[in-house]
């Protein structure tokens, strides 16, 4: 029996209400093009044109107006069915752990939307290095944690992001391997510091940590001042810095982000994990997210047992 995908209906209703594919995408954590594709799939399924663009907005066609009533009822019933089993009154404390660069780049919109949707939930975010976050998770002090790991490391959890690493500098003259090459790095243990040092050593030279700073903003300020070069995920490289991907500097292995939810996490924490996964997927589908992507699922276990060999985690 033919059925209409509720996700397509949700995209249709939000676009009709806001009059914009972009605004609908912001609510759904999807790009404008992804929302447009969903509408096109719905139109192909029904065999009718549902929305029409004019000079300023998107409006319903006569067929779209007919569908709107049905779509709203279907989505209301869908929400009611979910609420009957999951419960809508989500509350409690969620302790999220994440590296600072991920927290400041990929998560703000997702966390703000989650907080607005669940006002009875208290969200506590801890920013730290991966191995420190892992210790907190093992001790039961975090419910959901984002960790950096080496590609294909045998660790349980959900891989939510994979992205190339690049060198960044204030000017291209700094970007050549040599003894004493000044690096702007975070304190150990740090994945980007580890990758940068190993890459330069593989060229036969020993670099030096010219500027050590635990803050991403402070590190970028040092790079802009010409105090050294740094390693960042490609999508996070600021447009005012010179980006080198391996022509003059040694190539760097990609970075991966793993999300793990505690085995005894409550409903609120599981809902947050779903929102974070959706946010990374939307980033991967967006125009600005072409360099990264949502990885294939790893093991869904959130137990600490999957971390017996912590050396598999990158040091960041």
- The proportion of the chain whose per-residue pLDDT surpasses 70, expressed as a percent, equals 84
Average pLDDT, the chain: 82
- Which is more confidently placed, 265 or 39? 39
Per residue in 46-57, pLDDT (tens digit) is 999 999 987 778
Average pLDDT over residues 232-247: 88
Q: Kindly state the tokens that stand for 183.
A: 């690096």
Radius of gyration of the chain (CA): 23
Average pLDDT over residues 13-35: 86
Number of H helices, E strands in the chain: 10, 12
Per residue in 305-315, pLDDT (tens digit) is 333 333 344 44
For residue 210, the 8-state DSSP code is: E
DSSP per-residue codes, 105-170? HTSHHHHHHHHHH-TTEEEEEEE--HHHHHHHHHTT--SEEEEEE-TT----SEEEEEE-EEEEES
Cα 221 from Cα 314, distance rounded (Å):
25
CB contact burial 7-26 (16+ within 10 A = b; e otherwise): ebbbbbbbbbebbbbebbbb
- Model confidence at 304, pLDDT cuts 50, 70, 90, reads very low
Spell out the domains of the chain, with CATH numbers in brackets: 6-86 (1.10.10.10), 92-163+255-308 (3.40.190.10), 165-244 (3.40.190.10)
pLDDT at site 156:
60
Cα 263 from Cα 140, distance rounded (Å):
10
Which of 35-39, 51-55, 256-260 has the highest average model confidence (pLDDT)?
A: 35-39
Per residue in 137-162, pLDDT (tens digit) is 988 899 999 988 765 445 566 778 88
Per residue in 79-106, pLDDT (tens digit) is 767 666 665 567 889 999 998 888 888 8
pLDDT at site 299:
37
């Amino acid at each position: 029996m033919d059925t209409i995908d509720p996700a397509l209906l949700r995209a249709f209703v939000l676009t009709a209400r806001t009059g914009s594919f972009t605004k609908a995408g912001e609510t759904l954590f999807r790009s404008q093009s992804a929302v447009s594709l969903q509408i096109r799939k719905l139109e192909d399924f029904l065999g009718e044109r549902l929305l029409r663009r004019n000079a300023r907005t998107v409006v319903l066609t006569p067929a779209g107006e007919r569908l709107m009533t049905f779509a709203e009822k279907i989505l209301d019933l869908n929400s009611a069915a979910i609420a009957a089993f999951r419960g809508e009154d989500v509350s409690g404390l969620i302790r999220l752990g994440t590296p600072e660069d991920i927290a400041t780049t990929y998560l703000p919109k997702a966390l703000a939307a989650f907080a607005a949707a669940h006002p009875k939930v208290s969200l506590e975010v801890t920013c730290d290095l991966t191995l420190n976050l892992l210790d907190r998770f093992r001790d039961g002090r975090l419910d959901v944690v984002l960790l950096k790991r080496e590609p294909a490391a045998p660790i349980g959890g959900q891989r939510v992001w994979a992205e190339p690493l690049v060198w960044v500098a204030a000017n291209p003259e700094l970007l050549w391997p040599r003894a004493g090459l000044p690096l702007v790095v975070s304190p150990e243990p740090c994945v980007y510091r580890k990758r940068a040092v190993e890459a330069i050593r593989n060229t036969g030279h020993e670099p030096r940590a010219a500027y050590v700073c635990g803050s991403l903003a402070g590190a970028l300020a040092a790079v802009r001042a010409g105090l050294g070069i740094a390693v960042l995920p490609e999508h996070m490289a600021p447009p005012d810095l010179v980006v080198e991907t391996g022509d003059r500097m040694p190539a760097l292995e990609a970075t991966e982000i793993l999300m793990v939810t505690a085995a005894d996490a409550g409903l609120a924490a599981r809902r947050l994990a779903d929102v974070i996964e959706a946010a990374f997927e939307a980033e991967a589908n967006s125009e600005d997210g072409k360099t990264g992507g949502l990885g294939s699922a790893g093991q869904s276990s959130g137990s600490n047992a999957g971390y017996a060999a912590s050396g598999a985690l990158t040091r960041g």
